[in-house]
Structure formats: C-alpha cells, structure tokens
Amino acid sequence: MDKKKLRNDLFLIIPLLLAAVVALIILLTRKTNQPLVAKVYVSDAIVETIDLSDKTERDYTIKGKNGELVIHVHDGKIKVSKSNCPHQDCVNQGEVSDINHPIICAYNEVYIVINGQANHDAEI
C-alpha cells in the first residue's frame, strides 16, 4: 500500500515540479526578452511610440525642430537613416536596441529612447 501511495505522490509531484521549472524559465526569459518600445521625442513631447517587438521592417518620418528625420526600424532595432542635421551624429550612431543607449539629434531636438519594463532600473 505504501509503495503505491508513494508512486501516486510521485505522479503528482513530478508534473508540479516540471510546471514550476517551466514557469521559472518563462519568467527568466521574459525578463531579458521584455517587449521593448521606442519613444520618439521632439522638444520633450512624444511624437511616436514604436513597438520594437514587431519585427516588421518599416520607416517613420519625424518632423524635427529644424527638419525631417527618417527613422528605420527592423528586427527590434532602431536607427536614424536620414537626417538634415549638419553633423549627422544621430545617423552615425547606427542601430540601437537597448535601453541604455538613446539616440539624440540635438539639431532637431529629437530624442529616441527605448523603454522596457526594467526601464526604471536603467535610468540614471
């Protein structure tokens, strides 16, 4: 009788343990693969919110303070592909995909910042 009871308990415990492990893995991977959103500011006002978890390749035209910028989004990364600014720093910055590296175009007062759930931890 005891042996049978033990086996029944194991049948109950093993799936529970497996479920716990799976839940833990999902939680851990979700923390690192959190859905990212890029927010585009012009003179401190949000003009565009871009969902970076959407991997579709697309362009956004942003009206900056002194001209237009073209923002290119693909595969969870964002970059300024075209800008009328004299130094082209924003274009030269290239692709950005993490929350610690905002793209700034001072000339156009454009600021692109990537937000995730861990945003508050990453803020300086």
Under the binding rule (CB under 5 A), the answer on residue 83 touching Zn ion is yes
Select the span of 3-11, 54-62, 75-83, 92-100 touching Zn ion (CB under 5 A).
Answer: 75-83
The residue within the footprint of Zn ion, chosen from 85, 96, 99, 113 (CB under 5 A), is 85
**Is residue 40 near Zn ion by the rule CB under 5 A?**
no
Per-residue burial over 47-70, b = 16 or more CB atoms within 10 Å of its CB, e = otherwise: eeebebeeeeeeebebebeeeebe
- The dihedrals phi and psi of 101, each to the nearest 5 degrees, come to -125, 90
Q: Distance of CA 96 to CAs 27, 36, 77, Å?
A: 25, 12, 6
Minimum CB–partner distance for residue 29 and Zn ion (Å): 35
- Would you give the binding string for Zn ion spanning residues 86-105, x where CB under 5 A is met? ----x--------------x
Q: Where does this chain bind Zn ion (CB under 5 A)?
A: 83, 85, 90, 105
